[in-house]
Structure 1
């Protein structure tokens, strides 16, 4: 019985690890997950990007710019540049979703995760996040690496109708 419980726990851990991988991989042999609508938009396609906005991240726990504007329906390439010496990330969301995710990261600091609305960037590197801003409103973004959100590494964006 204990062996079955152990196997079940291992299966859950493998499943959780697979769903929260920092690495962007193609998961050979598996179909890509369909984009999921979020309150702040949906994953975009590179061919439909109308412009690029560069978000720079530094070890002073700030984003530059800390705010940007887009039009509803616009697909934008967010070029995320890490100009620091430590890992940083950008996660799009609402204040509530970011606070909830930050709390989860504090509980599980080594947790790996990958979703279309986030980019994890190693020091001195850059990555592109493609997003279709199809919902109007005011939203947020942040770095949820343990301690960075709490240090003020956050920003906002406005999607106008």
Structure 2
């Protein structure tokens, strides 16, 4: 009888211990679900960080693009009739200039480059009211020669008709020209030194009513 009681007691004790063990340890499915939840949370955090990084890059790119646009385009001001233009290798700043028909303007061009540059428009309809003294225009030479300062002068001193829209400058020089646009439209201008226009040294006058 005592043996039977002891056997039953042992069975009960083992059953209790087994129940405690199974209750304290998570099942395989519970562990799997917990791991999946953690991975999902981690993925969401990473995705959110990636979105923030992309938005930051997009904002920086937009700001840079707007800054470049502002630099290259003249902001039209009806009261400001003095337009400062920088010529360099190879372009103008600004390269798009808006004017009003009938207004008198002064274009001030500074050569901030290392070679001879000019600004010429054969299409622009304007009356020239003043043209300052300008450097002699070099004869046709290659762009490489221009960069290294190999510049020969025309026999006629590089003179241009006073009514032609043409400004030419040596490195570091500033020249001035006053004019009155007479017709609306878009008119191209460029540097006539061989190779400069082809390298991107060009722009546009836009004349409005």
Q: For structure 1, which segment, 71-80 or 111-120, has the greater mean C-alpha deviation from structure 2 after superposition?
A: 111-120
Distance 1:92 1:82, change over 3 A: same
Gaps of 5+ in 1: 1-49, 96-107
The structure carrying a bigger strand percent of its residues is 1
TM-score when normalising by structure 2: 0.44
CA distance in 1, matches of 2:121, 2:104: 14
Matched, 1:158 2:206: yes
Instruction: Please give the per-residue CA displacement for 1:110-151, whole angstroms capped at 9, x wherever unaligned.
Output: 653423411111101110011111111111111101111111
How many equivalent residue pairs? 101
Q: Looking at CA atoms only, which structure, 1 or 2, has the larger radius of gyration?
A: 2
Match of 1:90 among 119, 131, 138: 119
- 1:75 positional shift: 1.2
Instruction: Please give the per-residue CA displacement for 1:90-113, whole angstroms capped at 9, x wherever unaligned.
Output: 112339xxxxxxxxxxxx716534
Runs of 4+ in 1 over 4 A off after TM superposition: none
CA distance in 1, matches of 2:102, 2:161: 20
CA distance in 2, matches of 1:140, 1:74: 19
Name the counterpart of 1:53: 83
Task: Point out which structure has higher relative CO (alpha carbons under 8 A, 6+ apart).
Answer: 1
Name the counterpart of 2:92: 63
CA-atom RMSD, angstroms? 2.3
Match of 2:102 among 36, 58, 73: 73
- 1:152 positional shift: 1.4
Name the counterpart of 1:114: 160
TM-score when normalising by structure 1: 0.57
